[in-house]
Structure formats: C-alpha cells, structure tokens
Amino acid sequence: MNTHDNLSEKNRKIFESMPDTFYAGEIPSVRKKWNYPIAAAAILIPLLVLGISIWLKPKRTAAEQTAQITYYVERGVKGQVALADGSTVNLNSGSTLKILDDRRVYLEGEGWFEVKTDREHPFYVETPSGISVKVTGTKFNLSNYREEDFKVLLESGIIELEGRGKDIPAKIAPSEQVIVRSGRSHTAVADSLDKKNTTAWKEGMLVFDDKPLREAIPMLERWYGTHITVNNDALLEERLTGEFDTETIQEVMRVLALTHGFTYTINHKDITIALK
C-alpha cells in the first residue's frame, strides 16, 4: 500500500470517529478550486466538507509538488490535515495551512499540532508574525491570525522559537504559554483553565474568559461566518465571559446582550452592536 493509500485509510477512520454535531451555526457558501488531481503528501480531512478549499499549482518535482499545496478552512467550519510524515494538524475557522516541505509548513490562523517524532528532521511552522516554531515531536496549539497576536501553548515535548521580536524565549517547556504582542513576548505557566480555554475550539466550544469585546469580535466572526460592527468604541473594552457549543449566533448574541448590557441587530450575516 503506497503513502496515498495509507493516508486515505487513515483519513477515513478519523472522519468516521468525528462527532455528528460539531457546528450548529450557518454554513458558508462552498468555495472549491481544483486545478489538478490530488496526489499529495498531505490529505485534508474536513469536519464539514462545505467550506473547504484546496489550491494546487502545476507540479514538476516531488519536492515542488509538496510545496504547492495550500489548505484553507472557511469561516464557520473546522478541518484536519494528515501529513505524509504521520503528523496531524487540526485547523480552526478561517485558517490557511501551506505545505512548504515534508517537515515545514506555514500557518496563518490557528491549529492544533501533533507532530510525529523525528529527531533527525525537525518540524517547522512559519507564521505571519515572522516567528517560527521548531519541534522534533510534540503537541501544541498555535494561533497567529494576520494582524493578531502570536500565541503558542505547549502540551508535551519542547518547542524552540526562532525569528524577530524582543525577549522571545529560545525554548518553552510543557504547560508554558507564550504570547507575542507588538514584538514583545510574555511567558507564563498555563493552568488547567488556561489550557481548556485555549484548546476549547478543537472540542467544538467557543470560550470567552473575561475577554475584551474587541478580541471576541474576530472570534465570533470566524466561528459563525458573520461580520460584526460596533457603533460605539467604548463597547470594545467591555469584557465578555461565557461558554458556547451548539448555540446559534442568535442565541449567543442574546446571552451576551443580556449579561453585558448592550443591544444588537442581525441582518442575515451582518450584526450591529450598540449601547442601550
């Protein structure tokens, strides 16, 4: 059985084990672009087939073939990629994963990585912030949407960080979390609640733990595939707390409005938040 067959069988088993009800909001329109048949070193396993896009460019060599695969997960859905080396990546909504080489990828968005151990061939994750993650075999959550903070939480193993930024630690240990904002880093030991909140998305939960509305808005937009406008800047500092899993965007907005004292209107996928 060749590599493609192995991955296909693995993908089938993972897909069959996925929960039946992972996302309860609106499903975005389908966008797919197929330029060439898939004969790839990585296969995408969508939690929901809708909203998954794969771009392939003309291929020449095996290395170039690997380097020209990009996976994009639409807002409102999640996906998983099984790499040829045995590693897997769970992708959060609105994330892009580019395969640069057998053990090198580029992530714009958020992903949960389970990297197969290979001490002779380190695994690299490049990000929009210019910071790269280097591992040989580990589990970690990495978030770096464009124009947002770089955040990494390590569950097991060791991570080395490379790239620009002040005071970025060379290595982080299990249960440590590093946040890089405006080139400056903050390292802290994550307790069980921090870990739960950081990785809740891959369990199908949207969690706000005293999070400013300005940071919660892009999370809501990606989770439900919506666009949110706030007509008063003072509201952006309102801090939100709540946990949601199967709730619709209408139910989430109703709860947040009641507990935080604002009003809102919903017009299809456009939401406007205002002071009472």
**What pLDDT is recorded for position 97?**
97
Higher-confidence residue of 156 and 170: namely 156
Structure tokens at 243: 């946990």
CA dist., res. 28 & res. 225, Å (int): 7
For the stretch 224-242, pLDDT in tens is 999 999 999 989 999 998 8
Range of the domain at 103: 3-194
* Spatial CA neighbour of 78 closest among 101, 106, 44: 44
Whether 112 and 217 map to the same domain: the answer is no
Whether 114 and 244 map to the same domain: the answer is no
Q: Please indicate, yes or no, if residue 263 is contained in any of the structural domains.
A: yes
* Spatial CA neighbour of 72 closest among 87, 54, 50, 45: 54
Whether 24 and 68 map to the same domain: the answer is yes
Q: Where are the alpha helices (DSSP H) in the chain?
A: 3-17, 62-67, 192-199, 213-224, 249-260
What is the model's pTM?
0.76
Q: Of 194, 221, 244, which residue is a domain's last?
A: 194
For the stretch 147-159, pLDDT in tens is 889 999 999 999 9
Whether 120 and 178 map to the same domain: the answer is yes
Whether 175 and 243 map to the same domain: the answer is no
Q: Please indicate, yes or no, if residue 9 is contained in any of the structural domains.
A: yes
Q: Of 162, 194, 226, which residue is a domain's last?
A: 194
CATH of the domain at 11: 2.60.120.1440
Quick one: pLDDT band at residue 169, thresholds 50, 70, 90? confident
Q: Please indicate, yes or no, if residue 104 is contained in any of the structural domains.
A: yes
Whether 61 and 184 map to the same domain: the answer is yes
Higher-confidence residue of 19 and 32: namely 19
Residues 6 or more apart in contact with residue 275 via CB below 8 angstroms? 231, 232, 234, 235, 262, 263
Number of separate domains in the chain: 2
Assess contact for 105 and 125: CB atoms under 8 A: yes
CATH of the domain at 231: 3.55.50.30
Q: Please indicate, yes or no, if residue 210 is contained in any of the structural domains.
A: yes
Assess contact for 160 and 152: CB atoms under 8 A: no
For the stretch 29-57, pLDDT in tens is 333 333 333 333 344 444 443 454 555 44
Whether 141 and 180 map to the same domain: the answer is yes
Count of alpha carbons within 13 Å of 181, Cβ hemisphere only? 3
Q: Please indicate, yes or no, if residue 199 is contained in any of the structural domains.
A: no
Whether 167 and 64 map to the same domain: the answer is yes
Assess contact for 143 and 125: CB atoms under 8 A: no
Q: Please indicate, yes or no, if residue 256 is contained in any of the structural domains.
A: yes
Whether 106 and 222 map to the same domain: the answer is no
Q: Please indicate, yes or no, if residue 200 is contained in any of the structural domains.
A: no
Whether 173 and 226 map to the same domain: the answer is no
Structure tokens at 131: 């910071």
CA dist., res. 218 & res. 161, Å (int): 26
* Spatial CA neighbour of 165 closest among 110, 212, 127: 127
Whether 187 and 230 map to the same domain: the answer is no
* Spatial CA neighbour of 110 closest among 136, 66, 140, 85: 140
Q: Please indicate, yes or no, if residue 96 is contained in any of the structural domains.
A: yes
Whether 57 and 188 map to the same domain: the answer is yes
For the stretch 127-141, pLDDT in tens is 999 999 999 999 999
Q: Of 174, 194, 214, which residue is a domain's last?
A: 194
